[in-house]
Amino acid sequence: MQKKHGQHLLKNPLIISSIVEKAEIKSTDVVLEIGPGTGNLTLRLLELAKKVIAVEVDPRMVAELQKRVGSSEHKAKLQVLVGDVLKIDLPYFDLVVANIPYSISSPLTFKLLSHRPVFRSALLMYQREFALRLCAAPGDELYCRLSVNTQLLAKVTHVLKVGKNNFRPPPKVESSVVRIKPHNPPPPVNFLEWDGLVRLCFNRKNKTLGSIFKTNAVTELLSQNYKTLASLNGLPALTDEQIKDKVIEILDNNNYDEKRSGKMDLDDFLKLLVLFNKEGLHFA
């Protein structure tokens, strides 16, 4: 196994069977698997799916996978893409079922969620703490920017706990399987701007929004974005002080001044973004 690829092969057939069952694979489905390793999960997916697209970065694993599947009656249903999943263009797929490298959990999750057309569902193995952050609700200790951003784009549910001894070699952390069902159609939100707002809010999630948004750094950011917007759209110029006054007015008039990010839900963030945008204030 190569440490740089984060390779931990799932070896327990009972866990593999449980994942395959919970994936709800149809005979017409194209299934994407990331990091198939030696094919323990791949062989089970091939039994049920119309086609399996396996993305593997390690050529040694590709050779082992092709050798193993080569003697299977389902070998014609396997397509192997060799390369870094974060760098290659992914083809069409209906489902994702994978034990992914934990080191790329966040960028891979958002790459999948930005894929078009929208896939039906993903069943992914994550490090336990990352999985709990994905699923966390407002008020939970682990509720964070990751929770809010993922839940804006998808319904996320914790499916299965998986102990470290179910892998070879065993990882240093416990694992969990999570189901991600993208909202279709996706929400009509500029994600870069949404993330700009959420990033600011969660930099100090236990502080009030009033204390976060009244800082000079936030005023400068909003002021710079406003100047760009104003020059492009012929809007009146505003000083930093006028921008700050607008921010205070938005927070005070809509009862956001004393709110804390760690207790706010998606609707709270969406409403706040709309209020800022109405006043010409943008986060990206």
Residues annotated within the binding site for S-adenosyl-L-methionine are: 8, 10, 35, 56, 84, 99
Q: Are strands 51-56 and 78-82 parallel, antiparallel or unpaired?
A: parallel
Which pair of tokens denotes residue 230? 């104003």
Contact 115, 53 (CB under 8 A): no
d(CA 132, CA 267): 21
3-state helix, strand, coil in the chain (%, to 5): 50, 20, 35
Alpha helices for the chain (secondary structure H): 13-22, 40-48, 59-70, 105-113, 128-135, 145-153, 191-203, 209-213, 216-233, 240-253, 266-278
Task: Name 233's Cβ contacts closer than 8 Å, sequence gap at least 6.
Answer: none
b/e sequence 169-182, b meaning 16+ C-beta within 10 Å: eebeeebbbbbbeb
3-state secondary structure of 173: coil
Q: Is 8 left (phi over 0), alpha (psi -120 to 50) or beta?
A: beta
Annotated binding-site residues read 8, 10, 35, 56, 84, 99
Residue with tokens 């193995």: 125
